[in-house]
Amino acid sequence: MTGFLDKEVFGNYMLPSAVLGLFVILIWCWSTKSTIPTVNSYSGDIALKKAHSEFMTNARGLIKEGIEKFNGPFRIITTLGSRVILPASYTEWLKNCSDLDHQELVHDEYFAAYPGMEGQKVVTDPRKILIDVTKKKLNQNSQCELFSDHLAEGLKEIWMEDYDWQAVDWSQHVIRFVGRMSASVFVGPELARDPKWQELIMASTLNTFMGVRSLRAWPAFLRPIVHWFLPELKQCRKQMRLARSMLQPIFEQRAYSKSTSSESHKAEKFDDTIQWLEEVAAGRPYDAAAAQIAFAISAMHTTSELLKQALLDICMHPELIPDIRYEASKAVEDSGWSTAGVFKMKLLDSVVKETQRLKPGSLVNLERKVLRDVVLPNGMTIPRGTNIAVDSSMMWDPAIYPDPFVYDGYRFLRLRESGNTGAALASSSPEHIAFGIGKPICPGRFFASNEVKIALAKILLTYDVRLPEGTKPKVVEMGFEMLSDLSAKLEIRKRPGL
Ligand code: HEM
């Protein structure tokens, strides 16, 4: 009897309700999806081969087409699924919208849940231990001195002291310089000088980015299996193990020193992120070795890309060099290699910001995951779970920056002198979003700005630098990524009289 009733109830009520429900969901999905048009959707392109190929080779063209055609938000099919691109004018709205999250997007798109990617797991940890350390501790005078000392050692070792012109592999060397300077603050001077550690952080940063790229090339449903076999991911896991084995003795030695310290014999105090992570964590468990990989992957690629392109731009505009040298030598003479000294290098600040304007890391920025359905200023709804980003083209808008594609090293210096507070390198504004904006604005921007400026000042004060004759470095675009010339070379010589 009960079974019969169940069947009757099912047939008469539940089945039609389920069908109706499904119909409503389909209509809803169709309507929400269809309100945001897609730029690179082509008839017959069922496997999305053409869409992906267009995205990888012509993302700039797709963004331009989307803006011109739709005059509002649009979708681009990327190798990571579809991404809603908001016009630059939506930056303020995005900055103030609390239903968007950066960490969740990074967690998914940089595969933080996969073994070997524990660094990303630390960066996206909702407790924000690493982010708090970066915000609160990474901007001290002593760090400028460390940058200066460690770069001086690196230059002596890698570029040597030849007074004759010699060719150097800038693409490779810049990573070594940045690795060394950053590590002096992340893990302390001793490990920063260890060639094995230097090698490890360079290789693990590279493998992490390559691993992310190669995983993205696989369909989502296969990634949980293929990651075990991809060479880059295998390397990431191996390098994570190596990092743990190299750091463990240091952790143990510090813990021992702390446990045996007494009133008369204080434990040694360290000024590095190993120490600060412990202070900020305040007893909460965290993965201290993965945090070091996290610092390396947050800092290395971004900072070396900026330093690399900035010096290439200066070499393409050598008329700037005497003024930069004059300003830097005066700043160091007055204030030493300190935050005050770096602050005084305002032309250099402007030069680097101009580089970053013309070549930010990406054609889009402010990447966020939508946590709850949100209504855009134009009335469109973006469903929960959608990944969005803002088009970076405000950086090349002639209404904001006259002659936007002309490199002008003095541009931001003039703006700064006219009272524009957003014109300093480490500042962010809706007109220049290379360090992001809003809650997840890059917490490492002061650290990175100091590091890049110190490196440029020191290089230009110590060496003559030029491009090899007949070469003109080219920015490479791959999907949304903007990369400086992959094989950029320089010619250098120690400055006479030094
Ligand atoms: C030139 C160098 C750098 C550039 C261009 C850069 C750029 C960015 C950008 C665009 C974001 C996302 C912001 C947003 O979406 O609003 C970000 C976030 C972040 N950056 Fe940087 N960054 C640089 C250097 C660094 C350094 C040196 C560190 C650490 C020492 C660092 C740590 C982080 C962290 C932890 C986040 C995540 C913040 C969060 O989720 O709340 N970055 N960075």
Atom of ligand 1 nearest to the CA of 447: 27
> What pLDDT score was predicted for residue 36?
92
- Measured from CB, residues less than 6 Å from any atom of ligand 1 are 102-103, 123, 130-131, 134, 138, 295, 298-299, 302-303, 306, 361, 365-367, 434-438, 440-444, 447-448
What is the mean pLDDT of the segment spanning 149-173? 96
> What pLDDT score was predicted for residue 140?
75
pTM of the model: 0.92
Q: What is the mean pLDDT of the chain?
A: 92
**Cα 134 to ligand 1 centre (Å):** 10
Nearest CA to ligand 1 atom 41: 440
**Cα 435 to ligand 1 centre (Å):** 6
Question: Is the separation of the CB atoms in 35 and 380 below 8 Å?
Answer: yes
- CA angle 260-262-268, nearest 5°? 70
Residue 61: pLDDT band (50, 70, 90) is very high
> What pLDDT score was predicted for residue 260?
87
> What pLDDT score was predicted for residue 439?
94
The string of pLDDT tens digits covering residues 274-291 is 999 999 999 999 999 999
Provide the CATH topology of domain 61-114+137-195+296-494.
Cytochrome p450 (1.10.630)
Nearest CA to ligand 1 atom 6: 435
The string of pLDDT tens digits covering residues 289-299 is 999 999 999 99
> What pLDDT score was predicted for residue 496?
87
Nearest CA to ligand 1 atom 16: 436
Residue 26: pLDDT band (50, 70, 90) is very low
Domain boundaries, the chain: 61-114+137-195+296-494
Nearest CA to ligand 1 atom 4: 302
Over 50: is that where the pLDDT of 427 sits? yes
Atom of ligand 1 nearest to the CA of 356: 5
**Cα 129 to ligand 1 centre (Å):** 15
**Cα 441 to ligand 1 centre (Å):** 7
Q: State how far the Cα of 87 lies from the Cα of 79, in Å rounded to an integer.
A: 21
> What pLDDT score was predicted for residue 202?
95
**Cα 443 to ligand 1 centre (Å):** 6
The string of pLDDT tens digits covering residues 175-198 is 999 999 999 999 999 999 999 999
The string of pLDDT tens digits covering residues 78-123 is 988 899 999 999 999 999 999 999 999 999 999 999 999 999 999 9
> What pLDDT score was predicted for residue 222?
96
The string of pLDDT tens digits covering residues 306-362 is 999 999 999 999 999 999 999 999 999 999 999 999 999 999 999 999 999 999 999
Q: Is the ipTM of this complex over 0.90?
A: yes
The string of pLDDT tens digits covering residues 389-404 is 999 999 999 999 999 9
**Residues near 398 by beta carbon (within 8 Å), at least 6 away in sequence:** 404
Atom of ligand 1 nearest to the CA of 433: 10
Ligand 1, pocket-test mutation among 298, 433, 456, most atoms within 8 A of CB: 298
Residue 147: pLDDT band (50, 70, 90) is very high
442 annotated among ligand-binding-site residues: yes
> What pLDDT score was predicted for residue 186?
97
Over 50: is that where the pLDDT of 32 sits? no
> What pLDDT score was predicted for residue 24?
44
The string of pLDDT tens digits covering residues 363-385 is 999 999 999 999 999 999 999 99
**Cα 382 to ligand 1 centre (Å):** 26
> What pLDDT score was predicted for residue 491?
98
Atom of ligand 1 nearest to the CA of 124: 40
Question: Is the separation of the CB atoms in 50 and 44 below 8 Å?
Answer: no
**Cα 448 to ligand 1 centre (Å):** 9
Atom of ligand 1 nearest to the CA of 305: 1
> What pLDDT score was predicted for residue 196?
97
